[in-house]
Structure 1
Amino acid sequence: MQFVIFKLGEEHFAVETDKILSINDMMTITKVPKSPEYIKGLINLRGSIKSLVDVNLLLNIKSEKEQNNIIILKVDEEEIGISVDEVEEVIDIDEYKLQKLETHNTEGYIKGVIDLEGRLLTVIDIEKLLNH
Structure 2
Amino acid sequence: MQIVVFKLGEEHFAVETERVQSINDTMGITKVPKAPSYIKGLINLRGSIKSLVDINLLLNVTPGTEQNNIIILTVKDEEIGITVDEVEEVLDIDEKSIQRLDEEAAKEQPYIKGILNYDEKLLTIIDIDKLLK
* Superposition TM-score tier, normalisation by shorter sequence: over 0.9
Aligned residues: 131
Matches within 5 A, 1:48-63: 48-63=48-63
Cα shift at 1:102: 2.6
Query: Contact 2:10 / 2:64 at 8 angstroms: preserved in 1?
Result: no
**Cα shift readout 1:23-77 (whole Å, capped 9, x = no counterpart):** 0000000000010000000000000000000000000111242100000011111
Identity score, percent: 68
Is 1:16 matched with 2:23?
Answer: no
Misfit runs of 4+, over 6 Å: none
* Separation of aligned partners in 1, 2:119 and 2:3: 15
Q: Partner of 2:3 in structure 1?
A: 3
Gaps of 5+ in 2: none
Contact 2:8–2:64 (CA under 8 A) maintained in structure 1 = no
Q: Which runs of 5+ in 1 are unaligned?
A: none
Cα distance, 1:128 vs. partner?
0.5
The match for 1:117 is 119
Partner of 1:127: 129
**C-alpha distance in structure 2 between counterparts of 1:73 and 1:31, whole Å:** 20
Cα separation, 1, equivalents of 2:86 and 2:55: 12
Tell me the equivalent position of 1:35: 35
Question: What CA RMSD, in Å, does the superposition of the two structures yield over aligned residues?
Answer: 0.8
What amino acid does structure 2 have at the position aligned with 1:21?
A: Q
TM-score (norm 1): 0.96
Which secondary structure does the structure 1 equivalent of 2:110 belong to?
Answer: coil
Q: Counterparts of 1:55-74 in structure 2 under 5 Å?
A: 55-74=55-74
Contact 2:40 2:52 (C-alpha < 8 Å) held by counterparts:
yes
SS of the aligned residue for 2:41 comes to strand
Amino acid at match of 2:27: M
